[in-house]
């Protein structure tokens, strides 16, 4: 598993969820894990995540 460099969005790599206290790693291009998403497509697709 590879972590994307800060400020980049490289598909296939992982990043930390943008929610301040969340430690989950999510695949790019997503920016928040399933529990912290704010978009309207919550049920259309699920964002997978890994626990740190």
User: In this predicted structure, what is the pLDDT of residue 23?
Assistant: 92
pLDDT surpassing 80 at residue 29: yes
> How many domains is the chain partitioned into structurally?
1
**More confident position, 52 or 3:** 3
Q: For the residues 27-41, what does the mean pLDDT come to?
A: 88
Alpha-carbon distance 27 to 2, whole Å? Answer: 10
Range of the domain at 21: 1-52
pTM: 0.76
Alpha-carbon distance 43 to 15, whole Å? Answer: 22
């Amino acid at each position: 598993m590879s972590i994307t460099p800060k400020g980049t969005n490289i598909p296939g790599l992982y990043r930390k969820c943008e929610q301040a206290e969340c430690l989950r790693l999510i695949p790019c291009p997503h920016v928040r894990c399933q529990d912290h998403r704010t978009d309207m497509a919550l049920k259309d697709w699920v964002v997978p995540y890994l626990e740190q």
